[in-house]
Structure 1
Amino acid sequence: MSRNAPAVTEADLHAYVDGLLEPERLAVVEAYLAGQPAEAERLRAYRRIGRLLHQAYDPVLGEPVPAALTTGALRPPARRWLQAAAAAALFGLGGLLGWTLHPPDAGSQAEAIARVLVRPAAVAHAVYSTEVRHPVEVGAEQEAHLTAWLTKRLGAEVRAPSLQAEGYDLVGGRLLPGEDGRPAAQFMYQDGSGRRLTLYLRTSQWDSKATAFRYAETDGNGIFYWVDGPLGYALTGPADRAVLLRAAQAVHHQLNP
């Protein structure tokens, strides 16, 4: 990096992620990232998050505007207000992460379950599985405290299944926002090579008999998800489908001995 070049700022890094840097500044940022592998990985995670958000919400943005909002009865100031509100909502997607736009009342029950489990689980995995310093809020050494805290916040008994037989140790967990303000949680597991799996869970309003294991893929990760009693689960990771299935079965068996 040139001594005369301004220091790389957080704004530069976000502009880099969005592809908005001028060529000269781009070269400066790339030189900076070449010596900062943790920062480079953080920005790769941001790009993955962006792709996931587009996959989740681009169909919604393409929906036709309701006729009631396009009639002459809607005055220009009101239209401007609606446009501003829409822009603010779109801007807030990056911060909301695991939140989804619609309650699970449209489409089939299976689609609704996927909407509140798969998308938030995938985004949460993309955000935290690459985190180096703070991948979890509470570490595995405080497992009893962690599960008691999450049980209280979710309003249902929460346990952290062991995946040691599958080669993964518990790293810890965290509280997350869920659909319609309902809290969710994430447990993180890591194997000897540093590869991570995350188990996303949140309270469910569906009959546990309604879903067996279902599988989805997004952004290079596999996700097995299911509903079991008062909670819905989504196990996410880069492992191949067979390995991920064995881990999901291990979770299910421990929760249903």
Structure 2
Amino acid sequence: MSMIPDESDLHAYVDGRLDEARRSEVERWLQQHPERAREVRQWQQDAQRLRVLLAASPTLPDAPQLDPVAIRSRHAARRRRLLALAASLVLGIGAGGFTGWQARGMQEAARGEAPMSDALQAYRMFALQPEAVADMVQQQPGQMQSWLQRHFGDAAHLPDLHEAGFRPVNARLLATGSGPAAIVVYRNRGGDAISFYIRPPTALRGPLPPGTNRQDGLLAKYWSGQGYNYALVSRDRGRDAHVVERAWSARSI
């Protein structure tokens, strides 16, 4: 395989679809080609915005023409038009979709909502919906941690839940009014889900002391550290809740 990545390699890199060896080759090549590296970073940002737009309106019909890879292929040289398309899509969806999700962290503080309510909403949208599209699917151990570190640096340390039978299976990037966020979904052999959520603090609420948020049968155990807020989320009953409580108590940050 050529060391020089082609367009399909770069698109696969942006979408987290390269194996570990090829991803390392592409990253080394990008370090030597700063112009392409800047373009690829912009693709990542554009793709994240579009994924959040679509995630905010789960009732939209399938629209392959809005897939980030297809859009990048058609508009790589016309990024401003892509962002204009995204803005038009927001208007077409309605004012409540993207804006509501993006600003949720700020709004929850202003309205007096319990902290990390957006972590519970992310769990409902992605952990409880098996058909939800993922940005990253773990195919071998360690991939998820590497993916998180690419987006959040050393602040993102995945809780180890394997002794309880839960392993990270997929992840999704999200956007908040304070910056990028992500949800990582763990599952056990029975299909039960626990999620790990990471996001920047909001300007109004800031870093969070360790605490609990219970809503509508869901449990979130949250904390802050290294510039981010974190939450572990599960159903608020039985063994899943016990696993979350135990992992939260044993956290290293």
User: Structure 1, residues 155-174: CA drift from partner, whole Å, max 9, x if none?
Assistant: 55322222122232221222
| Separation in structure 1 between the aligned mates of residue 162 and residue 150 of structure 2, nearest angstrom | 26
| Separation in structure 2 between the aligned mates of residue 124 and residue 172 of structure 1, nearest angstrom | 13
Residue in 2 aligned with 1:130? 128
| Separation in structure 1 between the aligned mates of residue 107 and residue 153 of structure 2, nearest angstrom | 20
Residue in 1 aligned with 2:159? 161
Q: In structure 1, give the amino acid aligned to 2:162.
A: Q
Please give the residue correspondences for 1:27-176 in structure 2 after superposition, counting only pairs within 5 Å.
91-96=94-99, 98-100=101-103, 103=106, 114=115, 117-118=116-117, 120-134=118-132, 136-142=134-140, 144-176=142-174
Of 219, 222, 225, which aligns to 2:219? 222
Partner SS for 1:159: coil
Alpha-carbon offset, residue 185 of structure 1:
0.9
| Separation in structure 2 between the aligned mates of residue 101 and residue 250 of structure 1, nearest angstrom | 26
Alpha-carbon offset, residue 248 of structure 1:
4.2
Runs of 5+ in structure 2 lacking a partner?
1-56, 60-89
- For the 8 Å contact 1:199–1:236, the answer to whether it is kept is yes
Normalised TM-score (structure 1): 0.51
Query: CA distance change for structure 1 residues 96 and 193 in 2, over 3 Å: closer, same or farther?
Result: farther
Residue in 2 aligned with 1:253? 250
User: Structure 1, residues 93-142: CA drift from partner, whole Å, max 9, x if none?
Assistant: 3345632357389669xx5881xx22x11221111113324453212225
Residue in 2 aligned with 1:231? 228
Aligned CA RMSD, in angstroms, stands at: 3.7
| Separation in structure 2 between the aligned mates of residue 107 and residue 221 of structure 1, nearest angstrom | 22
Give aligned-pair identity as a percent. 18
| Separation in structure 2 between the aligned mates of residue 168 and residue 129 of structure 1, nearest angstrom | 13
Query: CA distance change for structure 1 residues 100 and 249 in 2, over 3 Å: closer, same or farther?
Result: farther
Q: In structure 1, give the amino acid aligned to 2:229.
A: G
Alpha-carbon offset, residue 251 of structure 1:
4.9
- For the 8 Å contact 1:154–1:202, the answer to whether it is kept is no
Larger Cα Rg: Structure 1 or Structure 2? 1
Query: CA distance change for structure 1 residues 130 and 243 in 2, over 3 Å: closer, same or farther?
Result: closer
| Separation in structure 2 between the aligned mates of residue 215 and residue 99 of structure 1, nearest angstrom | 22
Alpha-carbon offset, residue 202 of structure 1:
1.3
| Separation in structure 1 between the aligned mates of residue 215 and residue 58 of structure 2, nearest angstrom | 15
- For the 8 Å contact 1:100–1:179, the answer to whether it is kept is yes
Q: In structure 2, give the amino acid aligned to 1:163.
A: L
Query: CA distance change for structure 1 residues 146 and 239 in 2, over 3 Å: closer, same or farther?
Result: same
Query: CA distance change for structure 1 residues 90 and 151 in 2, over 3 Å: closer, same or farther?
Result: same
Runs of 5+ in structure 1 lacking a partner?
1-44, 48-86
Query: CA distance change for structure 1 residues 156 and 89 in 2, over 3 Å: closer, same or farther?
Result: farther
